[in-house]
Structure formats: C-alpha cells, structure tokens
Amino acid sequence: MIAARAVLEARYRDRVRADPALTRRLVSFQANKSLPFYRLFKYKEGFSADLVRRFLQDAPPGGTVLDPFAGAGTTLFAAQAAGFHATGIEVLPVGAFAIKARSALGRVDPDDLAAAVARLRADPLTDAPAGPGFRHLPITRGAFSPATEAALNAYLAAVAAEPDDDIATVLRFAAFAVLEEISYTRKDGQFLRWDRRSGRARATFDKGPVLSFSDAVFGHLGRIQRDLVAAPRPAGPPIDLREGSCLAVLPTLPASSFDRVITSPPYCNRYDYTRTYALELAFLGVDAEGLKALRQTMLACTVENRAKRAAIRDLCAAAGQPALFDRADRAFQDCEALQEVLAALEGRAEKGDGHRRPELAGVLLRDHADADRDPPSLVEGREDGSDLRGVPGQHGFTSSRCWPGRGPVTSTQ
C-alpha cells in the first residue's frame, strides 16, 4: 500500500534532515504575537515571520517571492523587509484587508495618525447616524451588546469622514482587529463559540470580561501607534497583492517568474474559514450570498470534483496557457506516490473523518516555481536554485516533510 511513497522516500533520504530549530513556535503564528505589526491582527492560520526570514536567509535579496495562499501576509511582509519583490494571492477578504491595511500603515505619517486618533477620542461615539454601519450576516446576529454595536457604528461613521485614504484604512483596521474581543464570540478551532450573554439558544459558554468598544479600539490604536514609532518602516518594494483564488490567478502569471515560493496551503479537510471569520467578513460588507460563494470557492480548492477540473482547464486556456493545464494534469496523474496518498485520504474520507482529495493547485504552483519532475509532494522545489517550501503539519495534518529540490531538505518532525 505504501510502496510508491517508500520508493520516493528512499530516493530522497540522503537529502532529508530533521531540523530541530523548526519548533511549533517557529512554524506557527505564536512567534508573531510579540512582533511589531505582525501582532496587530491575530491570524492563527498564519506562520511566523521568523520562519520566512529563516527560509530567505541564504537567498540573495532582490529576487521574487510568491505566496499563493497569502493569509495575513506574513511571507509578503517578511520578504519585503528583507528586500524581495513579494507577490501574494489571497481569496479571503479578511486576509486581503489585513494585507492592505498593513501596507497603508507603512505609508502613513505617525503625526497625522495621532491627530486623527485624537479627533476620534474627542467623539463620544454614542450616536450612530443612520447608515450602513455593521451589517450582520445571519450567523453573526447577536454578537455584540447594543451599546457596543452603537459605538462601533458611530466610529465607522466618523472614520468614513476621514479624508486620507490610508489613515481611514488604518482606523477601520483597528476596529476590524478587535471584533472578537468586543463580541460574545470566540474563535475556537473550526468553530465560533457563543457566550451565553448573546442570548443564542444552546450558548452556555462564558467568555469572561468583554471589552467595551472604546477600550478595545483605542487600546489597539495605541499599539498601532507604538509599532509605528518603534519599528522600521518597510524599505523594500511595494507588495503585489492579487485578490482571488490562486486557481484562477496562477495561470495568469508568467511561468518561471518566481525565485521562491513560501506558503502554507489550506489542508484537504473541510476547515471553513468563512465560519471562523464570519464577524470580520460581515464587517467587510460580505453578504449572505457572497459568503456562500466564498465558502464554495474555498472548499472547491481542497475538495476534488470533475467540474473544477474542467474549470481549471478553461482558466488556463483563457490565460493563453493551455499547455500549463496538460503539464500540471500529467504531473498530478503520473505521481504514483501522490496518488497513493490521495487514495489513503479517500479511504479516510469514506470512514467519515472529513479528509478529501487535494487538488491541482499545488501542481500548477510547481510550474510557476519551474520545479523538476521528481518531488513527491505538493511542497517541492527545483534543482537550479529556485526553491519552494511549505509548512505542513501546523494543524496536525500528518505529512510534515518539505522537499526543496537539491538543496537542504528540512522537516519539522
């Protein structure tokens, strides 16, 4: 049953080494919690800036780095700070907004921001004018106390009058980043847990103290201002963010255009980002229809189906790269070890543990890193210098090997 994997593992054994430095702290978001800027939005699916720096330490600056599952932009900002041209693709508006806000933060003048914050502090934030404000999704109703929701809406109305776009973005980001703190919800693994004060049926959990909107938002603005003063501004080239699914965006990028790919793809389970980040998505104006479409797009990337296969072929054709689909498809079908893993996952899915077949995205990726034909996993690299590394294993997914071509190979286990 594991013959093809065993053959591949034997072939690469002398190039695989366990790296004890790749601790859970380094590969997960934990290490970001104390870093200026990175700490400002807790994206628990992210990895750490230190890990990215480690991956880039032997690379000559000035090259190109891609993260096709950019999240809140750890790869992008760490690469930018190290002097690389960073491109990110992200389908979830939550990550995309965090990246845009952080880029805006890199451009604002600290004194102008301080003046805008002082104006807001002088506002009692009690009267929310009639207007759009926070528009709930069915799954977010009851998340805030009436006083909190009124203050949030009054704040958003005041921010809408801010003339400087970057400052307005940073001010909105401060509210966005504290939504969990001011709500009766807590992100808990795959779920949003509801405090009993929400009045929701079956909500029995007690979250403890819930911050008032003013305390939370001005506390966070204080952190933002301190980071602006304490930490250097990004000196590298601006980040190129592409919003959308990498399945659609990758075929539009020229082949062999990246020196390095550093990423952490979503796993082939049914982890539903749209549920965990429902409050943030509602804040960003995603409505019920938009949420459904987003959920389908995201699940489509980790759950195999024939319709998607045809869609990927069409996307490649539309991008003028029909051969890309054929190459990727052949690599996908011909990799015996991969097919063996997929069959094992399918077996587990049949037993009901939720794993499904991963899809072609990783193989399309390989084309952009121009990888050689051998590597056995969706995390792979190539012989002639470019390098593709990932961080499997963060959320307990069992495979935890990285296979960067002929260079040093590291493993978190």
Ligand X SMILES: C[S@@+](CC[C@H](N)C(=O)[O-])C[C@H]1O[C@@H](n2cnc3c(N)ncnc32)[C@H](O)[C@@H]1O
| Residue ranges binding ligand X (CB under 6 A) | 43, 45-47, 67, 69, 71-72, 74-75, 89-92, 95, 245-247, 264, 266, 273, 298, 301
Q: Going by DSSP bridges, is the β-strand pair 409-411/16-18 parallel, antiparallel, or unpaired?
A: parallel
- Cα separation, 285 vs 172, in Å, equals 13
The residue to which tokens 């294993």 are assigned: 393
Which position's Cβ is nearest ligand X? 71
Instruction: Tell the smallest beta-carbon distance from residue 277 to ligand X (Å).
Output: 9
Instruction: Tell the smallest beta-carbon distance from residue 303 to ligand X (Å).
Output: 11
By C-alpha distance, which of 394, 328, 327, 402 is closest to 361?
A: 328
By C-alpha distance, which of 97, 105, 95, 92 is closest to 75?
A: 95
- Cα separation, 108 vs 126, in Å, equals 28
Instruction: Tell the smallest beta-carbon distance from residue 345 to ligand X (Å).
Output: 17
Provide the greatest CA pair distance for the chain.
Answer: 69
**Strand segments (E) across 50-117:** 64-67, 85-90
- Cα separation, 19 vs 54, in Å, equals 12
What the block records as the tokens of 25 is: 């702290």
- Amino acid in the structure at residue 349: A
**Strand segments (E) across 20-70:** 64-67
Instruction: Tell the smallest beta-carbon distance from residue 14 to ligand X (Å).
Output: 29
Residues 6+ apart with CB under 8 A from 351: none
**133 or 266: whose CB is closer to ligand X?**
266
Instruction: Tell the smallest beta-carbon distance from residue 70 to ligand X (Å).
Output: 6
H/E stretch holding 393: none
**309 or 406: whose CB is closer to ligand X?**
309
The residues that bridge with 194 in the sheet, in sequence order, are: 185
**95 or 133: whose CB is closer to ligand X?**
95
Instruction: Tell the smallest beta-carbon distance from residue 128 to ligand X (Å).
Output: 31
**156 or 246: whose CB is closer to ligand X?**
246
**47 or 155: whose CB is closer to ligand X?**
47
Instruction: Tell the smallest beta-carbon distance from residue 67 to ligand X (Å).
Output: 6
**90 or 280: whose CB is closer to ligand X?**
90
Tell me how far CA of residue 98 lies from CA of 12, 173, 240, in angstroms: 38, 7, 14
**28 or 321: whose CB is closer to ligand X?**
28
Q: How distant is the alpha carbon of residue 402 from its chain centre?
A: 19
For residues 302 and 269, is the Cβ–Cβ distance under 8 A?
Answer: yes
**96 or 120: whose CB is closer to ligand X?**
96
Instruction: Tell the smallest beta-carbon distance from residue 343 to ligand X (Å).
Output: 23
Q: How distant is the alpha carbon of residue 188 from its chain centre?
A: 17
Instruction: Tell the smallest beta-carbon distance from residue 236 to ligand X (Å).
Output: 17
Instruction: Tell the smallest beta-carbon distance from residue 394 to ligand X (Å).
Output: 7
Q: In this structure, how many other beta carbons lie within 10 angstroms of the beta carbon of residue 299? A: 18
For residues 67 and 25, is the Cβ–Cβ distance under 8 A?
Answer: no
**75 or 183: whose CB is closer to ligand X?**
75
Phi, psi of 127 (to 5 degrees): -95, 105
For residues 296 and 320, is the Cβ–Cβ distance under 8 A?
Answer: no
**Strand segments (E) across 59-202:** 64-67, 85-90, 185-188, 191-194
**195 or 367: whose CB is closer to ligand X?**
367
**178 or 294: whose CB is closer to ligand X?**
294
Instruction: Tell the smallest beta-carbon distance from residue 392 to ligand X (Å).
Output: 10
